[in-house]
């Protein structure tokens, strides 16, 4: 495999400077739609590089935490303005390195813009509380305080949006950052940090170390001077991160897997439900933690829904995301493609009916990339592996249910709890579903994807460990509450003892 021109060589960003990895090694970043295209070469970082980055963040922290939050926020605001002007360039580069279609990468960049603007606004709204004291001549209040160095480990499927979810609240709260982007999508993080630097971010406040999980990632999360870790990725790796944080009581935020469901009731608008299922199941080639990889359909409309869904999915155009006619891009890499192919075999062996798709695309325009057909299994059973396990690819399992009660039971019978959706015109059923579905996010008459930056994002069970991304909820992870009492009575007051 050869590239006609010399690939661009990118570097780590440490203490305000772009630096090569100390070990001198680098890895390739290739276009998953055309693996002959080299996007760039990025440094393979090790423990020494991580130590340098954490030391820089530690040294920058005292001055950054004392900069007034509105002034920190002004830097974020300028960065958002720059992202607006460069949106198309950023989106096209993201499609080249990640594969999803331009409409989606434009949305990814827009989400980073939205999050940056939102958190810039929080620079003047890092509100605490004031409260009347139970004692006379005593004032009581609480304020948010920064924590220190934040280690951010981000995935490849939203290579600007998710880094912004983590980085912007961390920065506006007064923390410094070391981020390790996914090996498949480091260019988008490079762009994001470059823009922050141009906006006036002081040196050392944000640092980037590229590399793999066992090398750069493990060194980062175990570092003694890292005070908190925010990780988005698989549940299996999340357990490793949690175990690494536990001995020193690092604050730990985990955003992990999902096996999300769409419930289609007998009174649903089927045209709308089909469109939602196509977008939820095959947007980003199913490579979303919120992807709708399960659909439970009321038995009275099951046949009609399946026929419509299969017809729509068969018509999807799969190809290079830079082609404006493409509706679904490739899998991110060969390993992910092989995972998808493995689960197709699992579904067939379990007795599910392959209604469409099921094969790798490897001829013609697809021959140089990691493409797979959008795939639907029907007549599935709730305990099948393809219904229970996260595939993270363009595979959707459809099953019939007797009604709302059984639908909710099937929905909750998985180890994950991120997102769920219901299509119904019955307001009573909608509210029962919103109450009883065991997920962090519920949509009514919309697919399982489409989170907005001003609302909390996250899940329960094996999806997360209680923290949330986005909105003011993110501030709770990246800051600590400090309670302050001012007694101006000029005498000893012993709270509950003197207040009995």
- The residues assigned a catalytic role are 255, 289
Contacts of 412 by beta carbon, 8 Å cutoff, 6+ apart: 436, 437, 438
Q: Which residue has the tokens 């899998």?
A: 331
d(CA 256, CA 250): 18
Instruction: Centre a 10 Å sphere on the Cβ of residue 121 and count the other Cβ atoms it contains.
Output: 14
Q: Are 270 and 304 within 8 A, CB to CB?
A: yes
Decide: residue 379, CB within 10 A, 0-12 exposed, 13-18 middle, 19+ buried.
middle
Please choose, from the candidates 276, 282, 273, the residue with its C-alpha nearest in 3D space to the C-alpha of residue 327. Answer: 282
Q: Are 227 and 148 within 8 A, CB to CB?
A: yes
Angle at 392 between CA 437 and CA 160, to 5 degrees: 95
């Amino acid at each position: 495999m050869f590239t006609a021109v010399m690939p661009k060589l990118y570097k780590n960003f440490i203490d305000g400077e772009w630096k090569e990895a100390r070990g001198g090694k680098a890895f390739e970043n290739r276009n998953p739609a055309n693996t002959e295209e080299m996007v760039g070469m990025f440094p393979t970082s090790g423990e020494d590089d991580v130590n340098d980055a954490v030391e820089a963040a530690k040294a920058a922290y005292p001055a950054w935490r004392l900069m007034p939050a509105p002034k920190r926020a002004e830097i974020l605001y300028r960065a958002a303005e720059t992202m607006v002007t460069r949106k198309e360039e950023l989106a096209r580069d993201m499609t080249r390195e990640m594969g999803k279609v331009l409409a989606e990468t434009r949305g990814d960049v827009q989400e980073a813009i939205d999050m940056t603007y939102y958190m810039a606004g929080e620079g003047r709204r890092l509100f605490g509380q004031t409260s009347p004291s139970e004692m006379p001549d005593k004032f009581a209040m609480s304020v948010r305080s920064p924590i220190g160095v934040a280690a951010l480990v981000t995935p490849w499927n939203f290579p600007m949006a998710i880094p912004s979810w983590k980085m912007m609240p961390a920065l506006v709260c007064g923390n410094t950052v070391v981020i390790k982007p996914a090996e498949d999508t480091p260019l988008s993080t490079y762009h994001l940090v470059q823009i922050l630097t141009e906006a006036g971010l002081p040196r050392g406040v944000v640092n980037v170390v590229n590399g793999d999980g066992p090398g750069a990632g493990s060194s980062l999360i175990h570092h003694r001077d890292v005070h908190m870790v925010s990780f988005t990725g698989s549940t299996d790796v999340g357990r490793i991160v949690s175990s690494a944080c536990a001995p020193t009581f690092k604050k730990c935020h985990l955003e992990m897997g999902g096996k999300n469901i769409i419930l289609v009731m007998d009174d649903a608008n089927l045209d709308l439900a089909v469109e939602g299922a196509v977008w939820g199941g095959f947007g980003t080639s199913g490579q979303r933690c919120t992807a709708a990889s399960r659909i439970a359909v009321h038995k009275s409309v099951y046949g009609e829904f399946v026929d419509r869904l299969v017809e729509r999915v068969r018509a999807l155009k799969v190809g290079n995301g830079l082609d404006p006619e493409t509706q679904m891009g490739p899998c991110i890499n060969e390993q992910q493609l092989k995972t998808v192919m493995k689960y197709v075999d699992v579904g067939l062996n379990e007795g599910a009916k392959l209604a469409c798709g099921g094969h790798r695309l490897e001829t013609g325009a697809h021959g140089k990339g990691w493409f797979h057909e959008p795939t639907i299994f029907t007549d599935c059973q709730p305990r099948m592996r393809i219904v229970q396990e996260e595939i993270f690819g363009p595979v959707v399992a459809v099953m019939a249910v007797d009604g709302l009660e059984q639908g909710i039971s099937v929905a909750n019978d998985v180890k994950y709890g991120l997102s769920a959706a219901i299509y119904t015109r019955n307001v009573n059923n909608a509210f029962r579903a919103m109450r009883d579905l065991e997920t962090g996010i519920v949509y009514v008459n919309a697919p399982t994807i489409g989170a907005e930056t001003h609302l909390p994002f996250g899940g329960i069970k094996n999806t997360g460990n209680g923290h949330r991304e986005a909105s003011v909820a993110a501030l709770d992870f990246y800051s600590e509450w400090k309670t302050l009492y001012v007694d101006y009575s000029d005498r000893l007051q012993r709270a509950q003892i003197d207040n009995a």
